[in-house]
Amino acid sequence: MVGMSVVLSAVSRDPLQYAAWLTVRASGMVALAALTLTVWLGLASAGGLLKRRPQLRGTVGIVHEMLALAAIGALVVHGVSLLFDGWLKPSVLQVLVPFSMSHAPFWTGLGQLAGYAVLLLGPSFYLRKRIGAKRWRSIHRFTTVAFLLAVGHAIGSGTDTGSAWLLLPLLGGTAVAVVLLAIRAARANRRPAPPVRRAAPPRRSGALAP
């Protein structure tokens, strides 16, 4: 009831500010949800969990890409709507420079680092032919690090992450990602070493070539 009266008084005073405040939080949650699902699908695919269902790989690849684009879109909304937040009142420079925000600078800085990583690593997919698939794959692995930074940021600087309705799904989603990461790492360690090339036996004179 008290919460509702606070909300109503905020709306009646300045609906635009209230909308900005809501947009910052809603877009942060959408970005994190999309990022979590993207990381799940990427790790499940790279960890070989779709090996027995090759027909699913194409669909999973498309959903993975769409979710990554949705995360980038929501992240841009998150950063831009902050500029209209009448309570935090950050400058453009504070939004752009990591660890410079007056509100929870360390935790918000983690979000800014995660944001830059997501903005750079996501679109690198479209450059993989130019940079080479192997190099692209090793760069793309850092998406998981960006995701973990984003989780730290959401817990440290969010308002609603103190409530069970947001904290529990957030921790559950992170736990699933950590399990998938462990499966992926175990699979990478189990991969057989490339065969050792034997030197060809010296050819005897007069013998027929095989």
Question: Which residues would be at the binding site for ligand HEM (CB under 6 A)?
Answer: 24-25, 28-29, 31-32, 35, 75, 78-79, 82, 88, 95, 103, 108, 111-112, 114-115, 118, 150, 153-154, 157-161, 166
Rounded distance, CA 34 to CA 41, Å?
Answer: 11
The helix (run of H) or strand (run of E) holding residue 149 is helix 142-157
Whether 133 and 126 have beta carbons less than 8 Å apart is answered as: no
Min CB(17)–ligand HEM separation in Å: 12
Min CB(16)–ligand HEM separation in Å: 16
Rounded distance, CA 121 to CA 198, Å?
Answer: 40
Q: Which is nearer to ligand HEM, 66 or 188 (CB)?
A: 66
Q: Which is nearer to ligand HEM, 29 or 181 (CB)?
A: 29
* CA 78 from centroid of its chain's CA atoms: 14
Min CB(118)–ligand HEM separation in Å: 5
Q: Which is nearer to ligand HEM, 48 or 156 (CB)?
A: 156
Residue-wise DSSP of 172-189:
HHHHHHHHHHHHHHHHHH
Nearest to 119 by CA among 104, 99, 105, 98: 98
Min CB(174)–ligand HEM separation in Å: 12
Q: Which is nearer to ligand HEM, 41 or 154 (CB)?
A: 154
Q: Which is nearer to ligand HEM, 161 or 174 (CB)?
A: 161
Cβ-proximal residue to ligand HEM, closest one: 158
Whether 71 and 31 have beta carbons less than 8 Å apart is answered as: yes
